[in-house]
Amino acid sequence: MILQGKLIFLRALEPCDVDLLYKWENDPEVWTISNTLKPFSRYTLEEFIRVSVVDIFESKQLRLMINEVKSNNTVGIIDIFEFDPFHLRAGIGILIAKEYRRLGYASESIKLVKEYLFSVLKVHQVFCNILADNQISISLFEKAGFKICGNKKEWILSQEGFVDEYMLQCFNS
């Protein structure tokens, strides 16, 4: 199965991705949504890439790079996390670089990952967690078939104070 749409394709991590990961993982604007409290070293990210070849059934996670079809530029990342082959569920999270947002790349990436999870890994449901004040991401996932199923009150401490976090689910039908 090739994870490719009209606009983007998804690919495995490569050693040459370390510079982009270093930039994105160390962006304080991303820390609130990724629950990061400290910068990542280049060494840590190189090790993350090195061990990313471990099977998803063992690691319970998979990071894929999002590349633009027309230019082959890497425009973002999409993560599968908390993969649970017994309960047949997995979480997903996505980051698109600022200069590539609102071009349809996130929507197509989510669609491709859902197809992969439902068709190949045979999961029953996919979930994500989104801050209640992130209306753009909520709309993105709702358009992809996700529905809000829960609200964790004052779940995340941000610069502005505590923020609720929604859990959204999408079922394989």
Which range has the worst mean pLDDT, 1-10, 41-50, 91-100? 41-50
**What CA dihedral angle connects 120, 59, 170 and 74, to 10 degrees?**
-80
Q: So what's the pLDDT on residue 84?
A: 98
Helix (H, G, I), strand (E, B) or coil at 113: helix
- Report the pLDDT averaged over residues 63-80: 97
Report the percent of the chain where pLDDT is more than 70.
Answer: 95
pLDDT digits (tens, 9 = 90+) for 97-143: 999 999 999 999 999 999 999 999 999 999 999 999 999 999 999 99
* Between 128 and 54, the higher pLDDT residue: 128
Average pLDDT, the chain: 93
**What CA dihedral angle connects 33, 36, 38 and 43, to 10 degrees?**
-110
- Domain boundaries along the sequence of the chain: 8-126
The CATH homologous superfamily for domain 8-126 is Gcn5-related N-acetyltransferase (GNAT) (3.40.630.30)
Give the integer Cα–Cα distance in Å for 104 and 172: 22
Give the burial class of 76: count Cβ atoms within 10 A of its Cβ; 0-12 exposed, 13-18 middle, 19 or more buried: buried
pLDDT digits (tens, 9 = 90+) for 27-40: 777 766 666 667 78
